[in-house]
Amino acid sequence: MKCPFCDNEDTKVLDSRQVEEGTVVRRRRECDGCLRRFTTYEKYVYTPLIVVKKDGRREKFSRVKINQGMLRACEKRPISIEEIEEVAYTIEKGLRNSHECEVSSKEIGEAVMQRLFNMDEVAYIRFASVYRQFTDVQHFMRELEELVQRKV
């Protein structure tokens, strides 16, 4: 590994540890030339996962978008950021394990709704109101009635 400070190619690893559930290796290194320390990360590079939107557009998958949507839905609810990040990680892992290169935005939205349904009813309804594009109070009430029936 080349030193980012002096471009010396002789560096040594001082410490290695696994992060992100063992999917990434964090290495603390020291340059033999300038003796400065730096950190590197080693991780598997996934083939791109493409999301097919409702209108047919395609874009690269972003776990950040799942996190942002869930953060908005879980605002002022007793759900930690760590729980939200874990759900987003689990959803991404499931999508990648399906061995498909393309996934529909509907499949992602439904996966988020399923997880929120099990975590917090209010967050679930908040997310559903945006995801399912509630147009009126009756649509909102139907979703609430379904929620109550599924919880019974």
* Confidence (pLDDT) at 60: 95
Coil, helix or strand for 149? helix
Beta strands in the chain (DSSP E): 11-19, 24-31, 37-43, 50-52, 58-60, 102-104
* Confidence (pLDDT) at 143: 81
On whether the pTM is more than 0.75, the answer is no
Helix, strand, coil percent values for the chain (each to nearest 5): 45, 20, 35
DSSP 24-53: EEEEEEEETTT--EEEEEEE--PPPPEEE-
pLDDT in tens, the chain (152 residues): 899 999 999 999 999 999 887 889 999 999 999 999 999 999 887 688 999 999 999 999 999 999 999 999 999 999 999 999 999 999 999 998 888 899 999 999 999 999 999 999 999 999 988 888 887 888 888 888 887 888 76
From the list 41, 47, 49, the residue with the least C-alpha distance to 18 is: 41
Coil, helix or strand for 11? strand
Tokens for 80, please give them.
Answer: 């930690």
From the list 60, 74, 76, the residue with the least C-alpha distance to 115 is: 74
R_g (Cα) of the chain, nearest Å: 21
